[in-house]
Amino acid sequence: MRNACYHLFQAIGRHISKGPLILKKSQACLLLILVLGLNVPMLRAQSAPVNMGTSWLRIPDNARDGAMAEAMGAVPDTVDEAVLNPAGLGLLGGTYLTASHSFWIQNLSLDHFAFTLAEGGSGFSVGGDYINFGSISTYNVVGPNLVPTGSYTPMAVNGFAAFGTNLGMGLHAGLTGHFIYDNIQQSQPDQTASLDAGLLYQMPQSPLVLSAVLSNLGFNIDNSLLPLVLKTAVSGQIWFDAKPKQHYLTLASESDLLLTNNQFTNVGFGGEYWYKGLLAIRAGYRFINTQDLTGVTGLTAGAGLRFGDLQLDYSFMTLGDLGNTNQIELSVQLGTEATPTPTPKPSPAPTIAPTPPMPVLTPVQAPPTPVPAKSFMEYYRAGIQAYVAKNYPEALDNWFKAIVLKDPTVQPFFYAEACAMIGVVYKFDLPNHFLAHQFCNAALKIDPTTETALKLKHEIDATTTPIEGKYWEAEDDFEKGHYESAVKKLRQVIDAHDPTTPSFYYTETYCLLGVIYQYHLGEPDLAYQSYQAALKIDPKAKTANENIDKVTPPSTKPGQ
């Protein structure tokens, strides 16, 4: 009986194993070469697998990972990071519940659940797997005959708790502890404990993410060694839309080196494409030692559907003569913050405006915030993670801290992307058309080829009213030194008296007129009148308050 079970698990063991940055289109091919090339050499290392009754520990329990050929060890936005790479928990943001069911080969089934809480660069997850090996008949040997004695249903449980955190400089680390129990040997159920240790590194100024995980480091169970595996992986993402996590492609690869007894390597390559953040298609191929199996092996595919905070994933895997597997998974994000109702006054934002001696031209000014000693890329990526978790204020806070660092070692492209992402938030999530336009322009001034900003500009232009457009034309003239033309266009904005135009456009119009009159046309009286008009609309207008005393006529000053 024991040998019969072991033969089944050994057969399964031969064929299963476990495991944002925005790119320009010209970089997509390079990313594909890197993701594939870093793991292709591992194909040469394949040799015969060892026989172990614990191979069930290597059954994949994440549908998204399964559909991508179990290659997601370095993908930094997976809610099941606890079972893929615990270091990735430090990159998640939010609270998640996940449950999946796998219709595995030979009537095996696996149920998986996990609860994950992540914020502030650290994350914690608890969960477990329940494996049902189906009903197995038992016999006694009586002379030359086998006499049925009944049946039993072997099962196994794998409970886990994981923690991951950000170590700084793009490096993340995590640990997962496991409690493992099975009754594969009917009369001798057994239990043990194990540990997974993971590292994840986000390469600076690069879309590539690298990871390494040492899994199943622990004690024996059922007189068998745990399948000690070293997993190395690489991934990258290409975004095709201004709004993150809406229209993007993920490429990933992973190689698993079995360290127990012989060395055996599985290599998987997978891809995932999301359309408008609603529908995903996935495919992959896993190079595995097929031994004596016939038929199609190693081919994987799947799909995902996202509706609000719910996501449904499906995967399909081929294992030749052993059959095909199907897996379905449901995950939900809890406690998502609702998008604030648009208001006519903008939220606080940092200054993206001409440097002194020119005054600030933003409608509001954020209070100065001490910037901790973190790198630009850490703030930038923290902003992306917060954005994905729909924590928009935190995303803005991280990007603001990033752009004020002025790190000369960071390519301008990333500063442009940070400004563009701030614009994306103000355009789509915390609606403020003025600030969206302002940060989009700032991004294009830093790098006119920034695709995120170019696509954002297209969206902004499509919803810009003629009056708003006239203001931005005037500001463009101002920055080019065409002051008379700017004054003419600003007067056209004022004369329009459009009630549908947000009031802060008129505040900024008068402030900009005051700046031109005061600093460039030598008209202090007209500058004073312009600042007065701005303060009547908004008494807190920063530019007007900072400059009106400098042009106030002596006869109107208090005490004169």
Mean pLDDT value across residues 82-95: 84
The helices-and-strands tally (H runs, E runs) of the chain is 14, 16
Say whether pLDDT at 303 is over 90.
yes
Task: Identify the top-confidence range among 61-70, 288-297, 318-327, 458-467.
Answer: 61-70
Lowest mean pLDDT among 52-56, 147-151, 210-214, 240-244: 52-56
- Express each pLDDT in 384-406 by its tens digit: 888 888 889 999 999 999 999 87
Pairing relation of β-strands 109-119 and 310-319? unpaired
Mean pLDDT of 159-171: 87
- The Cα–Cα gap between 113 and 128 comes to 6
Report CA Rg, the chain: 30
What is the mean pLDDT of the segment spanning 249-262?
Answer: 83
Residues 477-499, mean pLDDT to the nearest whole number: 87
Residue scoring higher pLDDT (159 or 33) = 159
C-beta of residue 50 within 8 angstroms of C-beta of residue 258: yes
Chain CA centroid to CA 301, Å: 22
pLDDT tens string 180-194: 998 877 777 888 899
Which residues have C-beta within 8 Å of that of residue 100, sequence separation ≥ 6? 61, 62, 63, 110, 111, 112, 113, 313, 327, 328, 329, 330
- Residue 439: the pLDDT is 92
CA pair distance 282, 248, nearest whole angstrom: 12
**Separation of alpha carbons 388 and 175, rounded Å:** 24
3-class secondary structure for 59-96? Answer: CCCCHHHHHCCCCCCCCCCCCCHHHHCHHHHHHCCEEE
Which band of pLDDT confidence, cut at 50, 70 and 90, is reported for residue 33? very low
Q: Report the range of poorest mean pLDDT among 12-16, 287-291, 344-348, 376-380.
A: 344-348
Residue scoring higher pLDDT (345 or 302) = 302
Give pLDDT, residue 389. 82
Token pair of 153 as six digits: 């249903």
pLDDT of 4 strictly over 50: no
Residue 204 CA, chain-centre distance (Å), reads 16
Tokens 């492209």, located at residue:
413
pLDDT of residue 29: 47
Q: How far apart are CA 302 and CA 264, in angstroms?
A: 26
- Measure the CA–CA gap between 234 and 201, rounded to whole angstroms: 10
Q: Are 123 and 116 in contact (CB under 8 A)?
A: yes
Quick one: pLDDT at residue 114?
A: 94
- CB-based contact 548:533 (threshold 8 Å): no
Does pLDDT of 319 surpass 50? yes
pLDDT tens digit string along 38-67?
554 444 434 334 434 566 777 888 899 999
What's the rounded mean pLDDT across residues 520-543?
Answer: 90
Are 160 and 48 in contact by the 8 Å Cβ rule? The answer is no
Query: What is the average pLDDT across 443-472?
Result: 84
On whether the CB atoms of residues 272 and 279 are closer than 8 A, the answer is no
Instruction: Find out whether 28 and 238 touch, Cβ atoms under 8 Å.
Output: yes
Phi, psi of 107 (to 5 degrees): 65, 15
The per-residue pLDDT for 375 is 84
Compute the half-sphere exposure of residue 480: CA atoms within 13 Å on the CB side of its CA: 11
Positive or negative torsion for Cα 413, 415, 416, 422? positive
Residue 271: pLDDT over 90: yes
Q: How far apart are CA 153 and CA 133, in angstroms?
A: 7
- Return the structure tokens found at 90: 């430090």
Q: Give the per-residue pLDDT at 510.
A: 92
Residue 2's closest CA among 261, 226, 222, 227? 222
Residues 32, 236: Cα–Cα separation, whole Å: 8
The lowest-confidence range among 67-76, 186-195, 257-266, 521-530 is 257-266
Q: What is the DSSP string of 355-410?
A: PTTSPP-SSS-PPP----S--HHHHHHHHHHHHHTT-HHHHHHHHHHHHTS--TTS
| 211 pLDDT more than 90 | yes
Using CA atoms, how far apart are residues 278 and 526, in angstroms rounded to an integer?
Answer: 54
Query: pLDDT at residue 243 above 80?
Result: no
Higher pLDDT, 107 or 88: 88
Q: What is the pLDDT of residue 497?
A: 77
Q: Which residue has the higher pLDDT, 381 or 244?
A: 381
Report the percent of the chain where pLDDT is more than 90.
27
**Mean of the per-residue pLDDT values for the chain?**
78
In the chain, % of residues over pLDDT 70: 78
Cα 504 from chain centroid (whole Å): 34
- pLDDT, residue 242, reads 58
pLDDT at site 179: 93
pLDDT range class, residue 86, cuts 50, 70, 90: very high
Q: Say what the pLDDT of residue 368 is.
A: 47
**The pLDDT value given to residue 400:** 92
b (16+ CB within 10 A) / e for 362-372? bbbbeeeeeee
- Alpha-carbon distance of 438 to 349, in angstroms, equals 11
Evaluate if residue 274 carries a pLDDT over 70. yes
- Closest listed residue to residue 9, CA positions, set 112, 133, 111: 133
Place of tokens 């789509």: 428
Q: How many CB atoms lie under 10 A from the CB of residue 228?
A: 16
Amino acid at 394: E
Cross-strand pairs, 233: 211, 254
Cα–chain center distance at 452: 16
Report pLDDT for 83. Answer: 87
Nearest alpha-carbon partner for 298 in 33, 60, 126: 60
Residue 293 has pLDDT above 50, yes or no: yes
250 in Cβ contact with 74 (< 8 Å)? no
Tokens of 496: 């329009």
